[in-house]
Structure 1
């Protein structure tokens, strides 16, 4: 009896060819390489050299390692750039702090210099205001203190006379406040000043008066011009030093001026 095989039915499925299996495996490995899994998963599959040769996976592994090296190099470069940027920022911050400190130091130095100059100016002004000068520059005493004679109602001279032609500048001998400025009887036009030390000075026989009551004066300031008003025999300046603004409280004017550093 002859047996025949039915056609088209009960055929055993054919096995994929070696070429197709190799191609699929290579594609799978390539896909894993892009995700970084090749290093973990591909190695067991490539245990033998013959398998590597058959599947052709060597190029895939080489590509994965090269990509990892590139990524590592890029990461290292980025890290180095970040460190350099941070270092530059630190340097910039240090430079700013140094500049700010230098500016502050310069400002402090300028402030100190200004304070020193201000103190020096105040000291100079204080000395100037406390200084004393002669009432007539470059003059001399023509009649001394307590000189006797009938021309004085008290019987003696209560001040000193400085030689001066009419119209010569008369100076305040020191700082003070004018308490009298006008006609003074036998003194003619006269000025009385309360000095900063509490004493009083008088300037008599003036041809003109340049200050008023209540005005403050400083050493050497012009207060009037010499003349021959009042009870006089000629132009000169009558100068007195007193303990009060009133007549009769006179003290030695030469000793008074010398005690304040004036050479007369």
Structure 2
């Protein structure tokens, strides 16, 4: 059976409207082209070999079209699967990154909290240590002050006793010396022998310019024949504080310091001044 290829009719023909470029359109185009090629090939074969066996052209075209469509569908499905897999991987990575960032933030916050607690503890320890040092320093100063206030010094530096206690002579109205005399040129500095309060500062008759101090231990000390008085009644004094200058005022034969230790502020309550000074650690 022979096939004859008929010529296309002449004349004006309207071109078919081109639809949207969709997958179906492309598949149809492929199928048509494939079918057209197959028919053309079959027609040419039929023309050249009129005595050959007939060929099932329609089935061949459909088979080829199905093969092309199946391959394209498989390709699209594989592409979609790959995209889904890539999306899942990206999502998993994003979730892992989020978890790692959250863990890092928690670790950073915990470290900051620990550092703040350590800094606070260190500051508190430093403050306590400082307070302890300051308390110790105050206690040491107080102890030193108590010691200083409780200490005694000689009333005149680098001197000696020129007339002793209870020495007998008609120079004194009582017939004996009620104190001791320290050798001192006029104008020599005279110090309080210990801490106390001034109860008399002024003219004392035969004692000339004199000072009487009530000592912290309850005793009294007197300093006579001064050329200058540098304290006033009611004033507190400390050991070694300058209270006046030695001289020769009152009933004297020359400049010196007359010193007495008394149980009261007035004349006649005298005790041994050397024994008193020695009881407070002084060497006389």
- The normalised TM-score by structure 1 is 0.79
- Equivalent of residue 68 in structure 1, options 88, 110, 115: 88
Q: Which residue of 1 aligns with 2:206?
A: 186
Closer/same/farther in 2, CA of residues 106 and 52 from structure 1, 3 Å limit: farther
Cα RMSD (Å): 1.8
Task: Quote the Cα distance in structure 2 between the aligned partners of 1:54 and 1:168.
Answer: 129
Q: Does the CA-based 8 Å contact 1:179-1:194 persist in structure 2?
A: yes
Q: Distance in 2 between matches of 1:105 and 1:231?
A: 68
Structure 2 counterparts to residues 231-246 of structure 1, below 5 A: 231-246=251-266
Counterpart check, 1:147 vs 2:167: yes
- Provide the C-alpha distance between the structure 2 equivalents of 1:54 and 1:140, rounded to a whole number of angstroms: 132
Q: Which residue of 2 aligns with 1:112?
A: 132
Q: Is residue 225 of structure 2 the alignment partner of residue 213 of structure 1? A: no
Q: Whole-Å Cα distance in 2 between the matches of residues 153 and 176 of structure 1?
A: 29
Out of 140, 157, 175, the position equivalent to 1:137 is 157
- Is contact 1:131-1:219 (8 Å) kept? yes
Matched ranges for 1:1-264 at <5 A: 20=24, 53=71, 55-56=73-74, 57-264=77-284
Distance 2:71 2:131 in 1: 87
Aligned partners of 1:203 and 1:239 also within 8 Å: yes
Structure 1 residues not aligned, in runs of 5+:
1-18, 24-50
Looking at structure 2, the residues matched to 74 and 59 of structure 1 have their Cα atoms a distance apart, in angstroms, of 22
Larger Rg: 2
Helix, strand or coil for the counterpart of 1:231?
A: coil
Structure 2: gaps of 5 or more residues: 1-22, 28-68
Label 1:52 to 1:74 Cα distance change in 2 as closer, same or farther (>3 A): farther
User: Number of residue pairs matched?
Assistant: 219
Q: Would the alpha carbon gap of residues 150 and 64 (structure 1) be closer, same or farther in structure 2, given more than 3 Å must change? A: same
1:52–1:58 Cα contact (<8 Å) kept: no
The runs of at least 4 consecutive aligned structure 1 residues that moved more than 6 Å come to none
State TM-score, norm by structure 2.
0.74
Matched residue of 1:105: which SS? helix
- Report the alpha carbon displacement of residue 69 of structure 1 after superposing the two structures with TM: 1.3
